[in-house]
Amino acid sequence: MYLLDTNVISELRTDKPQADARVLAWAASVPLAAQYTSVLTWLEIDIGILRLQRRDAAQAQALRAWLDGVRALFAERSLPVDDAVVQRCAPLHVPDPAPPHDALIAATALRHGLTLVTRNVRDFAHMGVALFNPWEFVGQD
């Protein structure tokens, strides 16, 4: 079972012509029911859309429509930040502070026993979470 980081969700946009074939192949090889995401992914994408809206309203509107669809697709597999996640997160900041969103996403994966799927494996390597980079997918993971 997998927790998809924001960069993976973004790469899977169906209207993205330059999407990496390895990421698409990995996602197609894993049952959708085994793919989860964090509410923090929605936050990060929402922030990006709101920033884009200020300079390209049409593109922001297209991304909003895409986000609404993908949120619906993940409705039952979008994991919250609850007290158990927060308790797993706090130790990830010691001895060195971690970026808050990254630590909460890693803590979500740890709490639920999921492998974190991300391009940014170095950002999470010190957090003790199982990691997989789909940009390096070559068949069976």
Could you read off the pLDDT of 114-131 as tens digits, one per residue?
Answer: 999 999 999 999 999 999
pLDDT of res. 73: 96
pLDDT of res. 22: 95
* Spatial separation of the C-alpha atoms in residues 57 and 29, rounded to whole Å: 35
Domains of the chain: 2-136 (3.40.50.1010)
pLDDT for residue 140 is more than 70:
no
Tell me the pTM.
0.94
- Tens digits of residue pLDDT in 9-68: 999 997 778 899 999 999 999 999 999 999 999 999 999 999 999 999 999 999 999 999
Contact 5, 117 (CB under 8 A): yes
* Spatial separation of the C-alpha atoms in residues 43 and 87, rounded to whole Å: 21
* Spatial separation of the C-alpha atoms in residues 63 and 115, rounded to whole Å: 27
